[in-house]
Amino acid sequence: MNYVISNDGTRIFYEKKGTGPAVILVAAAASDHNDTTRLGEFLSEHFTVYNYDRRGRGSSTDTAPYAVEREIEDIDALIQEAGGSAYVFGSSSGAVLALDAANRLGGTKVSKLFLYEPPFIIDDSRAPVPAEYVQHLNELMAGNRRSEAVEYFMTTALGIPAEYVEFMKADPSWQVMEGMAHTLAYDGMIMGSTQSGQPLPTDRWNVDVPVMVMTGENSGAMFHGAASALVDLLPQCEHRMLPGQDHSAVVMAPEVLAPEVSGFLLPSANRIPG
């Protein structure tokens, strides 16, 4: 893997593949570049794909104290490496980080955004995330209770029933998530108050570039409502549904998602066969 050095000295490792305009893939919570590898492979037919490990994950290093601004600087370092301008794709909480980056860095650096299911909770379609969510995650990590932190994230942030979580613990992926458990609070800070059951803030994002927010047809109502709310806020934002898919599409159905990403970011290109 290659790496760039972010503004605070953190090393951000990435895989680079393909030719064409640059697209940076921003992974979700409890994920590293491995979760977006297959999507990146499909996109590399038309793009130079920068698939990176967010700080504190995979090969990338970390620097305390954490701040969302440092993750935006990581994306900025990758954009500079890519030539000064890039498209950005983000999934789940990574989509919110991508949106924050576009807001901070501006349209000359982030020229288009593709957001897959930002997990805003803006109504009563599901229970809100508790106000003490980040604090509790940090308390669990202070006691090195990594498995409990992942379980808390799964049940509280993702809304997965506890009985399903017990089955998930037997899968090898659980240990991988435990290794990234300290970063779960990072994504909680990125989400901020946007999972409180209240309307989205009207003053957080000033993004005037083309934005696609996509939701899986089979995903819960909260995702569709969140997408519609974002369309109302951003001047160049549209919402589409991905037939037959849900929140797992980035990992489980990249061959279906990739043509949509390609067609929006680079409409003059032939769509990747799906």
Place of tokens 């805003």: 120
Quote the CA–CA distance of 244 and 79 in Å, as a whole number: 33
Claim to verify: residue 182 and residue 58 sit in the same structural domain: no
Give the pairing of strands 11-17 and 86-91. unpaired
Say if residue 11 is in the same domain as residue 116: yes
C-beta of residue 22 within 8 angstroms of C-beta of residue 83 = yes
**Rounded distance, CA 227 to CA 224, Å?**
5
Domain that holds residue 113: 2-121+199-265
Rounded CA separation 23/4 (Å): 16
Same structural domain, 113 and 221: yes
In the numeric block, the tokens 């501006």 are attached to 106
Instruction: Domain count for the chain, please give it.
Output: 2
Verify that 176 and 218 share a domain, yes or no.
no
For residue 71, give both structure tokens: 């993750």
Tell me phi and psi for residue 11, to 5 degrees.
-90, 120
Per-residue pLDDT tens, the chain, 274 aa: give them: 999 999 999 999 999 999 999 999 999 999 999 999 999 999 999 999 999 999 999 999 999 999 999 999 999 999 999 999 999 999 999 999 999 999 999 999 999 999 999 999 999 999 999 999 999 999 999 999 999 999 999 999 999 999 999 999 999 999 999 999 999 999 999 999 999 999 999 999 999 999 999 999 999 999 999 999 999 999 999 999 999 999 999 999 999 999 999 999 998 654 444 3
224-267 pLDDT tens trace: 999 999 999 999 999 999 999 999 999 999 999 999 999 999 98
Residue 126 domain flag: no
**Residues 151, 91, 244, 232: what is their CA dihedral angle, to the nearest 10 degrees?**
110
Query: Last residue of a domain, which of 163, 190, 217?
Result: 190
Name the pairing type of β-strands 11-17 and 2-5: antiparallel
Inside any domain, residue 248: yes
Residue 49 lies in a domain: yes
Note whether residue 236 is domain-resident: yes
Residue 168 belongs to some domain of the structure: yes
Domain end call among 147, 163, 190: 190
Place of tokens 């800070």: 189
Note whether 117 and 139 are same-domain residues. no
Same domain? For 181 and 206 the reply is: no
Tell me: do 54 and 177 sit in the same domain.
no
Q: What is the mean pLDDT of the chain?
A: 96
End-to-end CA distance of the chain, in Å?
A: 28
pLDDT, residue 267, reads: 81
Please check whether residues 98 and 154 belong to one and the same domain.
no
- Calpha distance 136→131 (Å, rounded): 10
120 contacts 213 by C-beta, under 8 angstroms: no
- Look up tokens 């993750």; give the residue: 71
Asked if residue 274 is part of any domain, the answer here is no
The reply to whether 273 falls in a domain is no
Q: Which CATH number does the domain housing residue 12 bear?
A: 3.40.50.1820
- Domain identity same for 19 and 40: yes
CA distances from 69 to 7, 38, 190 (A): 10, 28, 10
Domain closes at, from 146, 165, 190: 190
Both 227 and 183 in a single domain? no
Residue 270 covered by a domain? no
Q: 12 with 92, same domain?
A: yes
Strand order across the beta sheet in which 48-52 lies? 2-5, 11-17, 48-52, 22-26, 86-91, 110-116, 211-216, 237-242
Q: Do 205 and 104 belong to one domain?
A: yes
